[in-house]
Structure 1
């Protein structure tokens, strides 16, 4: 059964439409279970109905024509119970409803299983037999397993397919909504520009050809080019391969014949698809046929088919990869947006970006923040192939994307954008003013940086230094470990730009989740693996070169501070300090004039919370990395859309941990700061002020909003707010209480915009 299930999932995974997905499910499940009927009913939340979307065994005329209310019939009964219903004689059940159109009166036994994805009932899968019998435990277990395995794939098909049932994925306002994770805060409204990686068969959109004859000519030229390539390879290898091995090239040539793949692609073009889309349709169908074969030789032919398809596609895309023009408000969309793609769209026309893959920590997300582009990452159900030229709303605050939004939604988001622009203009005057409360308590606001572009943004927003300089960025954009001199030049630029204000440079923080192309790290669980200080202590040759570069860069400026990431125990602190001291002494002996920099530790591992007293004895400052600390405390990967909703910096456990850290080092000489999303949120900044944090570090764009909040309240207001939330039980209760208090203080306009605001 496992092999059968794997084959069903594999075939569904390669389906290119919702209808194809459903057709595969009903055919394969009916065959595997040897039943008379297999049907799939999908939930239409808009009308509270279950619609018969496909069936093998019921009357074909009833497909997409028959529906049941959510509380009607056995299908509705399965949905209400959210568990399997297994009946020997369906007609005798009180919930049975006879639907004459389906012709199901001759089928007695009934097994229905709900299809559930992320707590949402997508539909019900049903098998039926003429014989009166209860399906056995094995059959029931198989159908439950099929349902669980296919739920995510079906959800993706629903999201990417064109169906009347798409309303189940809409909110109260029309417009398809796709959930991802926040890449960069902000809102953008514009036109989707889909850019696919070269020669990736899985990312090519279907598109109507502007000129069918021209598409056919381009395809034939690409086909001829691949034939020539294969012929040339065959000729070059003639002396080194046997006749049997060279037969593969002859097989390739036969596949490319006009009477084989070539003719099928041309037929698809004539039916209304452009050359690239037609090619992908044909190649995917043939490859799937071979992949499902029991014969190992035939399975290997699937690889050959895909290889040929990619070769032809590469030639087609060489002709089509450039665009004559871009829309003024272009939203860049791709399966995986890369830095190179950002350069394809003129900067003044690029309004935002959406990426199916990637996270808020990915290189392109960091670039987007530096460029001030709203971005949503990890939109796993986004129908990329169908979006080119479509109007999109990118909501980087909520991590959602709306496709073809309604006029009402456009008006509401337009109002949010106007309010945001008005607020930002109103905050420009405070850039040069100190960050202090009405009763004179100072809370320095610093910035997180990593790129040269960040400098101007930070200084324009009145940053009082750099609370986190991500040194891994120069490593990420290099093809090898950068030399000491190369690093020194980059670090010097940052230190000079912010002089005489402090610049806290975090030592190299890489790992399985942030690997370098020339230093790959493959781990099953990168967040708990070899990363941060663990790597650099294992590679002192890398650590010492970086520290020497930092120290050299600080000569004559003396505004450098060094911070150690991912610390989980005292020995890591003492070993790192010893290496820094060694580099310092060596440079002094070489005649470099230096002042010993302050050294600090990032508190982002939960275990370190309970050792802050001991750690504080060895260092000059502590900086809480709230993003990682939150995800470790809650066991939530904030870049995983399936669980991202569980990630909250306002979770009572997180607030208690942060307060515990502040209380535990209150009487030490060690300074305490926090860098992360919580610092850049006025709500979080007020709570941290009350807890006793000495400074905050955030993305530059958030700094004016936070400074305005601090300058408009007394410290006692913050203390009262902290007291009112520390006894609450949920994130929702905390946020509700903060919103009420900020409204009373006249600060509600400083909250991040949302449709519910």
Structure 2
């Protein structure tokens, strides 16, 4: 059965569209189970009805015609109960619904299993048998459940592909096709999707027609010639070192590049009006699937050779097409996984939105997007990214949704939100130079998180009082080697000068986890619990010492430097780090630099640190909570995994209780404590943190005006009462709703995410 299942999944994956995929499923399942009928009913989101989409055994003319209401019949019962139903005599069941056009009156045994993907029922997979045959046993039921679970993702992807192409399951035209992800950076963007993909990655090649057939054919033939020359060159160079059977492997590659082999099939696809890269992808993936399905282990391994050959050809094709990527005026950049380099390719002023299939609201690109003020949606699992190229998209960075092919009404709705947001920001500019102080005189510092010089410019115009977190890994990430001491010194000096005399807190190098350096790769099974942050730099003191030396020299004459140690989990790490910092301080002083010893602090982002606050505070000058990582570790949720992103919640009761404890314990030994996670940039979160007693809040520059406006409009006692109320609640969603309600009642509804009920109504209206 495992072999059958693997073969079935591979075949379905090779299907060109949803109809072909479903036909393969019903045919292969019928054969595998030796049953007389296999059918697939899919739930149409537009009508909320189950539609017979494919069958083997019932009358074919009923496909696309027969439909059932959401809870109608045995199919509806399977879907609503979300579990298998196995009946020996289906017609005798009270929920049985007979459709004469299917011819199913001949079949009495019924086994239906739901097709569920990410908690959403997509449809029902059904097998049926004549009365005289056996009832379906437990083994068959288990097999059908396994098939359903394996194929749910493929069906969801195919369904989404069809929807975004403008057709519903019933073949009707669709608008406002919605895909759900997680919010990456707040705001609304309306623009044209531009799909970018990593070099030589066949899976990421978008589907699009050929604009010039002769050009595509010439480009492909040139690529074949180039790869053939490469292989012949390598074969000749190694000829003296290889045995004849090993040399024959190169001949296999060259035979595959013959006109009658792979190139011939690719050219045929191009002539069907598919661009060269897309045609190559289709043919190579088809070859790979055929080889992987073979029983012979040697032939199965040849799939690797085909994949390698495909990448080589694609590399030359992309080389010839480098100039063709165009960025329209309002570009929404779309990718399987966005990188900072991709953002840098878009001409200035044209980037309005970002969409990334991978990552979450706390991944590095999302943090960068917030700093740039670009609305972003991350973690769109199973969204057909290649279909988004050239389509009009609405990016809702508040709710983490994108809409393809928006209707006129939906576009107007989001345009109004965009205009209101811009007007609000302009209205808050008057607060720039005013202190962040409550109506009853409680003062709190508002700082910014930075990584690039562009962050500094935005921060100064928004009234930041200093830098609460300078991510020193950013200069490391934009280079192809470790930056020298002098290069680091120049980066740090820029930041220190821009904010002098206000404090600039520089976090020592924090790589590992979701922050990788191409020239210093860290490959681990579980990177977030592995070698990262202070663990890396203490193991490599040569990196740590050079960085601290550059920071200290950069601070000469300014003396506004503060150093912060990331990922601290025990006292010995602090003591070892302080020893190295003091050593560098004395060395730099001996070199003639007139500097003061900077304040040194610790980031509280590991649960272990929560229970050692007093001990840590006795050894350092200040504490700063990294609430993003602390939330991740407390809730055991990988913040970059979109499959569990909904479980990551800054308002979780455990997170709030931990934050209260940190503030109390730090103040009990007389040390200041700040916070530099995303919770600080949320108006409601900022009020709770102020009530807890945090001395400073550090956030992205775009959040500063809203947070300052809210804090300046309330008294601290009101915020403390709100905190006491929410600490009695046990659900993060209820806590968030309670905080939002309090803000609305206090007149700050305009600072919250827009009310989605209006947009939902518009989408429903378009669907109907």
Contact 1:89 1:133 in 2 (8 A): no
Rounded Cα–Cα distance in structure 2 between residues aligned with 1:80 and 1:750: 39
SS across alignment from 1:582: helix
1:587 equivalenced with 2:573 (yes/no): no
Partner of 2:336: 335
Any conservation in 2 of the 1:651–1:731 contact (CA below 8 Å)?
yes
The aligned counterpart of 2:403 is: 402
Name the CA shift for 1:82/1:435 in 2 (closer, same or farther; >3 Å): same
Aligned equivalents of 1:64, 1:290: Cα separation in 2: 34
CA contact (8 A) 1:181 1:400 kept: yes
Contact (CA 8 Å) 1:161, 1:383: kept in 2 or not? no
Structure 1 position 264 matched with structure 2 position 265: yes
Aligned CA distance change for structure 1 residues 184 and 81 (closer, same or farther; 3 Å): closer
* Deviation, structure 1 residue 459: 1.0
Question: Could you tell me which residue of structure 2 aligns to residue 191 of structure 1?
Answer: 192
SS of match in other structure, 1:382 = coil
**Structure 2 Cα separation of the partners of residues 360 and 194 of structure 1:** 20
Please say if residues 620 and 669 of structure 1, whose CA atoms lie closer than 8 Å, have aligned partners that are also in contact: no
In structure 2, the residue matched to 1:479 is 480
Q: Distance in 1 between matches of 2:261 and 2:107?
A: 43
Where does residue 571 of structure 1 map in the other structure?
572
SS of the residue aligned with 2:625? strand
CA distance in 1, matches of 2:107, 2:441: 80
* Separation in structure 1 between the aligned mates of residue 241 and residue 19 of structure 2, nearest angstrom: 48
Distance 1:89 1:531 in 2: 60
Alpha carbons of structure 1 residues 91 and 745: separation in structure 2 relative to 1, 3 Å:
closer
Instruction: Say if 2:164 and 2:404, in contact at 8 Å, map to a contact too.
Output: no
1:434 is the counterpart of 2:439:
no
**Cα pair distance change 1:372/1:432, threshold 3 Å:** same
CA change 1:254–1:537 in 2 (3 A) is closer
In structure 1, the partner of 2:560 is 559
User: Do the aligned residues in 2 keep the contact of 1:180 with 1:641 (CA within 8 Å)?
Assistant: yes
Larger mean Cα displacement after TM superposition, 247-256 or 701-710 = 247-256
CA contact (8 A) 2:360 2:642 kept: no
Cα separation, partners in 2 of 1:611 and 1:225, compared to 1, 3 Å? closer
Contact 2:359 2:641 (8 Å CA) reproduced: no
Partner of 2:459: 458
Is 1:521 matched up with 2:522?
A: yes
In structure 2, the CA distance between the partners of 1:681 and 1:23, relative to structure 1 (3 Å rule), is same
Relative to structure 2, which stretch is displaced further, 688-697 or 206-215? 206-215
Moved more, 284-293 or 565-574: 565-574
CA distance in 2, matches of 1:624, 1:8: 50
Partner of 2:43: 43
Contact 2:623 2:666 in 1 (8 A): no
Instruction: Go from structure 1 to structure 2 and tell me whether the alpha carbon gap of 1:578 and 1:224 turns closer, same or farther (over 3 Å shift).
Output: closer
Displacement, 1:443? 0.9
Structure 1 pair 224/393, CA: closer, same or farther in 2 (3 Å)?
same
State the shift of 1:98 in Å.
Answer: 2.6
Give the RMSD, CA atoms, in angstroms.
2.5
TM-score (norm 1): 0.94
How far did residue 702 of structure 1 move? 0.6
Larger CA deviation: 456-465 vs 275-284 = 275-284
Contact 1:42 1:165 in 2 (8 A): no
Shift of residue 444, structure 1, vs aligned partner: 0.9
Are 2:164 and 2:177, in contact at CA under 8 Å, matched by a contact in 1? no
**Larger mean Cα displacement after TM superposition, 188-197 or 350-359:** 350-359
Residue of structure 1 equivalent to 2:160 = 159
- Alignment-derived partner of residue 64 in structure 2: 64
Q: Deviations over 1:125-184 (max 9, x none)?
A: 122233532222222112212222322332222223348998699xxx951222223332
Taking the TM superposition and a 5 Å limit, the aligned residue runs for 1:139-150 are 139-150=140-151
Q: Is the 8 A contact 2:394 2:406 kept in 1?
A: yes
TM-aligned CA distance change 1:164 to 1:378, over 3 Å: closer
Identify the residue that residue 700 of structure 1 maps to in structure 2.
701
Instruction: Tell me, yes or no, if structure 1 residue 122 matches structure 2 residue 112.
Output: no
TM-score by structure 2 length? 0.93
- Whether contact under 8 Å (2:360, 2:645) holds in the other structure is no
Taking the TM superposition and a 5 Å limit, the aligned residue runs for 1:106-255 are 106-130=106-130, 131-162=132-163, 175-255=176-256
Note the C-alpha offset of 1:113. 0.8
Q: What are the within-5 Å matches in structure 2 for residues 291-370 of structure 1?
A: 291-323=292-324, 325-370=326-371
Shift in CA distance, 588/203, structure 1 to aligned 2, threshold 3 Å: same
Superposed displacement of residue 356, structure 1: 1.7
Q: Could you say if the C-alpha distance between residues 474 and 82 of structure 1 is closer, same or farther in structure 2, counting changes exceeding 3 Å?
A: same
Asked if structure 1 preserves the Cα contact closer than 8 Å seen for 2:364 and 2:514, the reply is: no
State the alpha-carbon separation in 2 of the partners of residues 471 and 363 from structure 1: 13
CA contact (8 A) 1:184 1:397 kept: yes
Write the distance in 2 (CA, Å) between the matches of 1:454 and 1:325. Answer: 27
SS in 2 for 1:420: helix
Instruction: Go from structure 1 to structure 2 and tell me whether the alpha carbon gap of 1:213 and 1:521 turns closer, same or farther (over 3 Å shift).
Output: closer
1:6-37 CA distance string (max 9 Å, x none): 34334444544323432333233333323333
CA distance in 1, matches of 2:33, 2:479: 55
Task: Output the CA distance in 2 between the equivalents of 1:723 and 1:174.
Answer: 45
1:491 is matched with 492
SS at match of 1:665: helix
Deviates more, 1:237-246 or 1:333-342: 237-246
Confirm or deny: 8 A CA contact 2:280 2:310 kept in the other structure: yes
Q: Which residue of 1 aligns with 2:421?
A: 420
Deviations 1:291-321 (A, max 9, x none): 1111122212222322333333333333323
Q: Give the secondary structure class of the aligned counterpart of 1:348.
A: coil
Q: What is the DSSP-based 3-state SS (H/G/I as helix, E as strand, rest coil) of the residue aligned with 1:642?
A: coil
Give the distance between the partners of 2:600 and 2:58, measured in 1 at CA: 73
Which segment drifts farther, 312-321 or 452-461?
312-321
Moved more, 589-598 or 620-629: 589-598
Q: CA separation of 1:649/1:127 partners in 2, compared to 1, >3 Å: closer, same or farther? A: same
Does residue 500 of structure 1 match 2:501?
yes
**Worse-matched range after superposition: 525-534 or 86-95:** 86-95
CA distance in 2, matches of 1:480, 1:626: 30
Query: How far did 1:95 drift?
Result: 2.4
Mapped partners of 2:105, 2:299: distance in 1? 42
- Separation in structure 2 between the aligned mates of residue 703 and residue 333 of structure 1, nearest angstrom: 28
Contact persistence 1:439–1:715 (CA under 8 A): yes
Q: Quick one: distance in 1 between partners of 2:169 and 2:270?
A: 33
Q: Give the Cα–Cα distance (whole angstroms) in 1 for the partners of residues 396 and 541 of structure 2.
A: 43
Secondary structure of 1:568's partner?
A: coil
Structure 1 residues 544 and 379: CA distance shift in structure 2, 3 A: same
CA distance in 1, matches of 2:164, 2:410: 21
CA contact (8 A) 1:158 1:165 kept: no
Deviation of residue 680 (structure 1)?
A: 0.5
CA contact (8 A) 2:38 2:127 kept: yes
Q: Work out whether residues 363 and 640 of structure 2, in 8 Å CA contact, stay in contact via their aligned partners in 1.
A: no
Q: Which region of structure 1 is more displaced relative to structure 2, 489-498 or 699-708?
A: 489-498
Instruction: Report how far residue 107 of structure 1 moved.
Output: 3.0
Provide closer, same or farther for how the CA distance between residues 267 and 654 of structure 1 changes in structure 2, counting only shifts above 3 A. Answer: same
Q: 1:311 to 1:654 in 2, by over 3 A?
A: same
User: Would you say how many aligned residue pairs link Structure 1 and Structure 2?
Assistant: 754
Following TM superposition, by how much is the alpha carbon of 1:191 offset from its aligned partner in structure 2, in angstroms? Answer: 0.6
Q: Could you list the per-position Cα deviations for residues 40-94 of structure 1 after superposition, in whole angstroms to 9, with x for gaps in the alignment?
A: 2111132221112222333333322322222222211211221111122333333
* SS of aligned partner of 2:260: helix
The residue number in structure 1 matching 2:766 is: none
Structure 1 position 670, deviation (Å)? 0.2
CA distance in 2, matches of 1:16, 1:220: 25
